[in-house]
Amino acid sequence: MRSLRSTSLSLTVLAVAALAPWQTGVALQRDEPLPADAVEQTLSDFQRALDERWSYRHANDADFGGAVEALRQRAAAGITVDQLGLELQKIISLGIDGHAAVSWFRLPNERYLPFLVEPVGDRFVAFWPDRSGFVEADSPYLARIDGLTISQWREAAAPLAPQGSPQYVRRNALRALRAIEFLRQLAGVAPSDVVRVELESRDGQRVKTVELPLAERGPVYGTWPQAMSRFMPGGVGYLRLPSMDGGAVAAIRQWMPRFADEAGLVVDVRDNGGGSRDALLELYRWLAAPDDPPRVANAAAYRLHPQHDRDHLAARFMYRADSPHWTPRQRSAIDDFTERFAPQWEPTVEQFSAWHYLVLDAAESDGHARFDKPVVVLMNAKCFSATDIFLAGMASLPQVTLLGTASGGGSARSQTVRLGPTGLRLRIGSMASLQPDGRLFDGHGVAPDVVVEPTPEYFIGGEDRQLQAALELIRSRAAEPAPASDAAPQ
């Protein structure tokens, strides 16, 4: 039985080694029931972490306590470590925390779906993992697998990942679908060595049915597009940021001086699953004027806990309103922001810190020239975590347009907790994080200014409708006459 680690990004890691007995602290046999005291300690640690540490414990109406108690009663008849891990994953998935997950358990899955699936509007495209083409060239759209619609498969996979934004839930269900043998068990579909696939033509008038053998290894999505930063025709710069890490900061510093004379800029963060906020701070300094008023891009409060010190959010560049970190003008921006800030969900003062703020300020730039021409940021549902924050920050700039589809939605300052002697790990958010408009990132994501769906060909290296729309938007705005001056005629 292959191991498959559960994560909040929807069961994406398809080859995680099982823990040896010396790693778990007890001599575990994965196929044998756990000792009763090990089960009880694991459940107690899990419940305590949710009640005392989890920032999103009360963000929805899920009955976590009732679910844990029901599991405790079922486990009395015997439960293995992998079964326990899966059941705990289902419980944490009742919440909205997109980062939350139980890890280090194995799913009963030997073989996998032999192709990948991506959404295009309300339809789905099936293509080979090497992106060499569609499963059927003249019928790119996936209608059914083993007789079930994709909606039915999504319902079967829904208990495995947190109930975040609709686009987050859909994305994770499609990724979980790769573990087809396990999903068949959840959906009540009989085992088979092949998968029966019904594929539709573009006009939906023709359906082709094919049978494909299951794959021995799980297909990998990777990051798409696999493009490099470059100059585009028509005087437009293209800055590709596939992840929010040191490489993103380096790319910004390398390319922004070279793009200085271009008529516009495309920043492509599609499929960027996050990392740090440094890239946002760096790019903001290139796009905002030094005399622009500072802008608040994120408000958050952390769950009070002995292991969360007063500077718990400093790693996210967030501080209290009264922090000595702020300059007078930054503190003024926070005061203005708090006057109009209306949080969708108000964390309780008994359980949470005071509000902390992420403030963007170009006054701290290195004195380089500002890029003040049109900017389009390309985004999709795989934008997550630090990339959600990046999008919210970019959206605050008047010359920036967000284009594509809504981001996944997740901001949590995650912490990892060990669960009993089983080797299982629980990851949960420690901060409640909100967008400037008061909505949580989790459960919503960041909406684009202009919605543009990809074409099926995009996923196999063909037409990139979103990039083309971005170029057209930049060129149209670059061609607009400059605003008339308010100065009196001389």
The per-residue pLDDT for range 166-194, each reduced to its tens digit, is: 999 999 999 999 999 999 999 999 999 99
Q: Which of 4-18, 24-38, 84-98 has the highest mean pLDDT?
A: 84-98
- Residue 5's φ and ψ, nearest 5 degrees, are -80, 135
Residue 482 reports pLDDT greater than 80:
no
Strand 431-434 relative to strand 295-302, pairing: antiparallel
> How sure is the predictor about 363, in pLDDT bands with cuts at 50, 70 and 90?
confident
Q: Is the peptide bond before 114 cis (omega within 30 degrees of 0)?
A: no
Q: Which residues contact 479 (CB under 8 A, 6 or more apart)?
A: none
> How sure is the predictor about 367, in pLDDT bands with cuts at 50, 70 and 90?
confident
Report pLDDT for 27: 56
Residue 243 reports pLDDT greater than 80:
yes
Report pLDDT for 483: 54
For CA atoms 124, 378, 381, 10, give the dihedral sign: positive
> How sure is the predictor about 123, in pLDDT bands with cuts at 50, 70 and 90?
very high
Report pLDDT for 479: 79
Residue 366, classed as helix, strand or coil, is coil
This prediction's pTM: 0.93
Q: Which whole number is the average pLDDT over 40-52?
A: 99
pLDDT tens-digit series, residues 143-164: 999 999 999 999 999 999 999 9
Report pLDDT for 466: 99
Residue 404's closest CA among 474, 472, 469, 473? 469
Residue 113's closest CA among 216, 18, 203, 10? 216
Can you list the domains of the chain with their CATH numbers? Answer: 21-103 (no CATH), 116-213 (2.30.42.10), 230-478 (3.90.226.10)
Residue 464 reports pLDDT greater than 80:
yes
Burial-class residue 191 by CB neighbours within 10 Å (0-12, 13-18, 19+): exposed
For CA atoms 291, 247, 276, 158, give the dihedral sign: positive
Residue 470, classed as helix, strand or coil, is helix
> How many Cβ atoms sit within 10 Å of the Cβ of residue 253?
14
Residue 383's closest CA among 410, 356, 361? 410
> How far is the C-alpha of 113 from the C-alpha of 124, rounded, in Å?
15
What integer best gives the mean pLDDT of the chain? 93
Report pLDDT for 350: 97
pLDDT tens-digit series, residues 125-135: 999 999 999 99
Q: Which whole number is the average pLDDT over 396-416?
A: 98
Q: Which residues contact 322 (CB under 8 A, 6 or more apart)?
A: none
Percentage of the chain surpassing pLDDT 70? 92
Q: State the DSSP string of 186-218.
A: HHTPPP-SEEEEEEE-TTS--EEEEEEEPBSS-
Side-chain-facing half-sphere of 251: CA atoms under 13 Å: 22
Residue 295's closest CA among 262, 330, 246? 330
> How far is the C-alpha of 177 from the C-alpha of 189, rounded, in Å?
13
> How many Cβ atoms sit within 10 Å of the Cβ of residue 3?
18
